[in-house]
Amino acid sequence: MRAMQSDYMHWAKFKRPVRYQLTGSEVPHFRMDSLPWTVADLDLDGASHPRYRPLREAIAGRYGVSVDQVVSADGTSMANFLAMAALISPGDEVLVEHPTYELLLGAASFLGAEIKRFERKPEDAFRLDPARVRDAMSDRTRLIVITNLHNPSSALAGDEELRAIGAMGARVLVDEVYLDSVVPAPRSAVHLGPEFVTTNSLTKAYGLSGLRCGWILAEPELAERMWRVNDLFGVNQAHPAERLACLAFENIDEVLGDNPQLLARNRERWNDFVASRDDLDSMPAEHGITAFPRWRGGNTEQLDSVLRERYDASVVAGRWFEMPEHFRVGFGIPTADLDEGLNRLGSALDDLK
Ligand SMILES: Cc1ncc(COP(=O)(O)O)c(C=O)c1O
């Protein structure tokens, strides 16, 4: 049965709000009204129709690629979908990491792919291991799908592992939506060769999910194919959002603000918290916006229920990442909120001992 919906996204949109949300995976929202612009900057002049060039130039400039390698899309979500739609046909074998972001599986399934998996092991700090990819591959594998940083664990894959995977003969789609939260940000895997296709957006590291400014980087011929697929879907993006995205790129340092410091501080708080607990196993958080510890108490849906019911707080239960004994915690919130959220998480864990 091909996927016709995402249960994870439905849950993420409609879950009951709580005061201490450790469920997020994005830095705090950036306020566009802190930048200098007026409504006149959002002129609906039709410039969007032929693939709005100023935005493609801004993306190309920031990531060191040519403009014809950039395809813009509504968020990394649509970028992933367009990339897969251009790369796979029904019945093609697609190899996807486990655990992973559910929507990557959903997109491949919707497009009729035959999905196979390879493991990223918690005991190996969720490292991307090319040997495991090779073992899972067959001569029918058309596409390998990876997140870097890894969602949910934030493990960082280096060029060496990625190159080894690129040499296996299939295209490699790397979802890099968390990569820009690494300091300094590594180069996009698109620079490793034409077999690599990468996706990203102004969502996670920039706090601008509302703009839905996403993109694909790919070799020009493939990029053209993706643009043509896009004509079947949204045709254009909303032009005011494209204009605001250009403004964000022009002021990117201001948009990033002190988020790198916030994340570094919050990861330290998290690492201290884990070190103080004998019921959690987690690799130290070094990068990114999320961590994915294992709870020795069992199914973390129970943990999340207690957190919600007694402590007005929440985490993402591991079942959403196909590992029910793990849970995902996000660091992209003010440090005082994280401190209080972790206090409450500690209380919930104690209650369940
Ligand atoms: C791996 C991954 N890709 C894509 C997305 C969606 O990002 P966007 O807001 O850019 O569509 C998310 C959001 O959780 C994600 O974790």
> Residue 279 burial by CB count (10 A; 0-12/13-18/19+): exposed, middle or buried?
middle
> What is the spatial distance between Cα 351 and Cα 327, in angstroms, rounded to a whole number?
17
Pocket perturbation via mutation, ligand 1, pick of 26, 82, 151, 154 by most ligand atoms within 8 A of CB: 151
CA of 77 to the centre of ligand 1 (A): 6
Model confidence pLDDT, tens digit, residues 144-188? 999 999 999 999 999 999 999 999 999 999 999 999 999 999 999
The predicted model gives 259-280 an average pLDDT of 98
Bridge partners, 219 (sequence order): none
Question: Six-digit token pair at 239?
Answer: 């032009």
> What is the spatial distance between Cα 291 and Cα 323, in angstroms, rounded to a whole number?
13
pLDDT level of residue 5 (50, 70, 90 thresholds): very high
Angle ∠(244,207,178) on CA atoms, nearest 5 = 115
Which atom of ligand 1 is closest in space to residue 100's alpha carbon?
1
pLDDT level of residue 303 (50, 70, 90 thresholds): very high
Q: What are phi and psi of 39, to 5 degrees?
A: -60, -30
Residues with C-beta less than 6 Å from any ligand 1 atom: 25, 75-77, 101, 147, 151, 175, 177, 201, 203, 209, 214
Predicted pLDDT of residue 234 = 86
Predicted pLDDT of residue 45 = 79
The predicted model gives 214-224 an average pLDDT of 98
CA of 175 to the centre of ligand 1 (A): 8
Question: Six-digit token pair at 47?
Answer: 């410039």
Question: Six-digit token pair at 351?
Answer: 């209650």
CA of 75 to the centre of ligand 1 (A): 7
CA of 12 to the centre of ligand 1 (A): 12
